[in-house]
Structure 1
């Protein structure tokens, strides 16, 4: 007897399940099902043939893999969610009867969801957790700025704040920060943690405005935050142990005090004060420095290979970056956002302080004469010290991205700042002209370093160049004077001079014969070819033909991937061309504005 294949019992029809069917199978409400999927990392799938997956239905439905739903059946959290449903019904029953004692007892015994096993299940190794640390830290930094609301409780926000401060302290202790950028969204930071680049965003500190549910659903965000809080606790504990730091760290100011919970301004000042202190260590802290020195010595042994040279250059630039602000003291004015600047300066070995009368945690006063830089964000300042540089906050960010202390003359008080370039677009086709000029400057510095010219020898080399140029000009001047003198006194030449001229002419004649003989020999030898100039139109046509032939040679199973790659490349070139055109228009408008300004100035001068 032949087995009959029923419709939708195999293939895509049997692989997918709608959200409604999944909720019915798990016996959960919409809210609990959504929360369970967020915690377990299960998300809807897009089938190849939607009609078959939906068993003939043409409507667009949310589909899940059947394997994922059967995987959720064995999760202990499902039982906890069902118990919570029962407890909610019992608490509502006690509230309806007016029995407050029974209601409080049932609320005290309310079942808690434990997420430790889910963190271990989703991240089997420590490196897997670090790879997913971007979203975790971005969300926790966002929640750390929220006040207490009905959905987002004070316990969650205070825990998020503590975990973010602990993470920032690790980055400071490990000197792991690599790139910084300021945008409309907030402050972008990138750190190198155990060889993995972790990028997160710290939002600008603004007063909290309540959002409508249609725009932001805080219940969904709360589910993500509950999971990321547990994950960040595990990660921070492991990171602190790698540096032999005491965990949990103790801060000089209390982050969980009642005053900080009620007043947001006091909490922000206490959080920044906690960043401006060193943590307790269980060792002397000299192991990392010794390891770095050993690595550099090993790299110095093999200088011939290009790869070793690149690694050595990267290691040297990293060592310079880690001690970029070492030995410098910064004072931050009250109008400057302190938290990102304190974090950046401390990451690179600098010391920082602010006005102790306004905020807690200051380490030195403004009158301290050992201060090297004062960060100010106002057009003018009444009292200034000669011993320090007054710069705008952008100088800190640009110096970190360029990995060197930039000249402060472009960042003085009231000066028009240069464009703040993003360090996160290394693979893009379009390069702004300002960044191109900076890259050229860095290439010249590398060339000088390869030639053996260090930073200390720059002044000596400049002096030698000036001396050589002055000597060359002196020789040219002497020659011109001698020629002019001979032309004026041509009649005074003696007969001996004429004889000398005749002998010189004979020598020149013999020299001409020798050159003729050499030219005849050269005709018999191999002659170097001339440069052939290619026609750009012909070259473009040839490249198009080559691309068409290359596309024909691609296998049929790889053609879709090849088309995607080519479309991506075309899209990137199109965006680059649009950016170039936009830049040209901006430069044109600037030139027109400058010409109009000059015309008005001339008219005003003529009128006067």
Structure 2
């Protein structure tokens, strides 16, 4: 006789564990359990049968994999949480006794520090894995860098996020890795190609005054930021090392206090770092904890000798040493020959390009940013695409190429305000003076554009004509560079005036259908006289159409959406559309209905779902076209009114 299996010892009951059971097993508090799961990348799971997973209980609960919780039992961070709990008890006891010196001593000497380096190495075994998971990390870091500090956001966290954001921007600028950018409602999207072809997309909020919401649990978000800052620090160290740069870059505090932005960081190559003294080299080795000082001291003399033989004025960056496991250890690609002359020739792989062809898009230009324009995103974009000379007003901060708006070397000026016009006295003068030029705000030989010009040029990969981006001009649509126009709505293409053509086609279709109906009716039965049948039907249909039109008109005047048609209205509309069909179209519809009947239930549901999705897409496209025609009509009317005003 087979052994009877006990209930709740196998299957879902064994594979899943509830959150309460997991907290009891790990012997930690619920906040620490959440923090540990975020660090380790463990998330709740949804079992197929909740009742079996919960051993017969039906109440709602959160489940985790039992193997994941078992894996957390040997986590070193778990011991740090327990040490912190004991430290908190000692600190609270010292504060209760009033012994503040003992409390300060405990705070400085015995407070446990959670280290996450081993978790980063566990979750990302290779450098490529870390790059693939960099999107959310960069977006979160840029978000915290723009938030104001309060009791939930420590100043050290915000400053650390701002530092990492600028270090990432410097790497993107130095390597020319930026590819696309887009201005959206949420913020500015950027896409860069780093690490030999890995695309990284991140979101940067606009530099507005942020109101910190009160209904957000910043403890959970701070846990994510704590892990993401460690991850981005590892990634930046590796990226800077691949490019032969010193990490972290040196920060100029005076420039940073004067709102220097990107100019506050000084990027150095490894050749400059090799000229450091022995004491400085030893101090850097102790702080990093990664380098062997003894090995560096033995090779320091050879490095200095090799550098002294070279040209001291050379500024080229030295290539990093070939280390085992780096991305540049062997980038040669094997060549393959055809086994037979009749075989197909497949495209051969190519090496990933580190920089794009448009990295020097603005290399021959000098930009000047007006004080009303956003300096940080424009400076980042222009420097990423080759512009070395960027000036701005002194109120925007230090580090500008020029602060003089009348500098003759400026080729493009970005403005974001309505155009100004000269006074009547200046217009009457035959020779315009310097005051007239100042009143107009224009300098000869300079191109004035709005900020969108920079984004559209980058996405297009070329310098666009600046006429459409003149100050005060109606800007062209700013489209996402990641959405390609397909068979649906294309916002770039011009729409023909199809209102009259649609009405004419509808009239011709109804006439043709009526003629075919008359011909088919004459063969089978006599045509009914208009006085008996046709007139009441036409009157009824016209009355229904008038009622529908009046309801839609009333809803439009009230500013509300038109009422959704009921089931009866849909059936009537379907009957009317079928009555307007020709004989051949009705036969095709009947054949489709017969084919649907012969389908299996699964295929029929799939077919109906496909028809529904296609109809929905067509409806969305038609709605966008209708809005486009309405906007184009309003613009045309506005232009006529403006022209009329000018004529008057």
| Change in 2 beyond 3 A, CA 1:153/1:27 | same
Structure with a larger share of its residues in helix: 1
Q: 1:567 to 1:76 in 2, by over 3 A?
A: farther
**TM-score, L = length of structure 1:** 0.70
Structure 1 397/536 Cα, relative in aligned 2: closer, same or farther at 3 Å? farther
- Does 1:199 find its partner at 2:204? no
CA distance in 1 between counterparts of 2:226 and 2:90 reads 25
Out of 289, 292, 316, the position equivalent to 1:284 is 316
Answer yes or no: is the 8 Å Cα contact 2:77–2:114 preserved in 1.
yes
- Contact 2:45/2:63, CA 8 A, preserved across alignment: yes
Match of 2:144 in 1: 143
Q: CA deviation at 1:178?
A: 0.7
Sort the Cα spacing of 1:84 and 1:567 in 2 relative to 1 into closer, same or farther, 3 A.
farther
- 1:546 positional shift: 10
SS of equivalent residue, structure 1 residue 45: coil
**Aligned-partner Cα distance in 2 for 1:339–1:189:** 13
Give unpaired runs (5+ residues) of structure 1.
261-265, 299-304, 438-534
Residues 368-383 of structure 1: matches in 2 within 5 Å?
A: 368-381=407-420, 382-383=440-441
Q: Deviations over 1:138-190 (max 9, x none)?
A: 00101111232223212211111111111111111111111100111110000
**Which shifted more, 151-160 or 344-353?**
151-160
The residue that corresponds to 2:365 in the other structure is: 328
Matched, 1:587 2:629: yes
Partner residue, 1:20: 20
Q: Secondary structure at the match of 1:235?
A: helix
2:488 corresponds to 1:430: yes
Distance in 2 between residues matched to 1:377 and 1:115, nearest whole Å: 45
Distance in 2 of aligned mates of 1:56 and 1:217: 33
Tell me whether 1:363 sits opposite 2:363 in the alignment: no
| 1:18–1:61 Cα contact (<8 Å) kept | yes
Match in the other structure for 1:115: 116
Partner Cα separation in structure 2 for residue 368 and residue 321 of structure 1: 27
The TM-score normalised by the length of structure 2 is: 0.66
Q: What's the secondary structure of 2:394's corresponding residue? A: coil
Q: Deviations over 1:311-342 (max 9, x none)?
A: 89x989x7431111111111111110111110
Distance 2:625 2:93 in 1: 67
Q: Is contact 1:177–1:347 with CA below 8 Å preserved after alignment?
A: yes
Report the CA distance between 1:308 and its aligned residue: 6.4
Select between 377-386 and 198-207 the one with higher mean Cα deviation.
377-386
Q: Which residue of 1 aligns with 2:184?
A: 183
Alignment partners' CA distance in 2, 1:576 and 1:274: 52
Q: Which residue of 449, 454, 457 maps to 1:391?
A: 449
Distance in 2, Cα, partners of 1:161 & 1:569: 50
Aligned to 1:36, what secondary structure does the other structure show? helix
Q: Check whether the contact 1:429–1:572 (CA below 8 A) recurs between aligned residues.
A: no
After superposition, the CA RMSD in angstroms is 3.9
Whole-angstrom CA distance in 1 between matches of 2:482 and 2:85: 47
The 8 Å contact of residues 16 and 65 in structure 1, kept in 2 or not, is answered as yes
SS state of the match for residue 39, structure 1? helix
| 2:125 counterpart residue number | 124
Aligned length: 475
CA contact (8 A) 1:176 1:193 kept: yes
Alpha carbons of structure 1 residues 66 and 310: separation in structure 2 relative to 1, 3 Å: closer
**Alignment deviations for residues 236-291 of structure 1 (CA, whole Å, 9 cap, x no partner):** 01001111112111244458x7xx5xxxxx5xx2324337x765464724989xx9
Shift of 1:197: 0.9
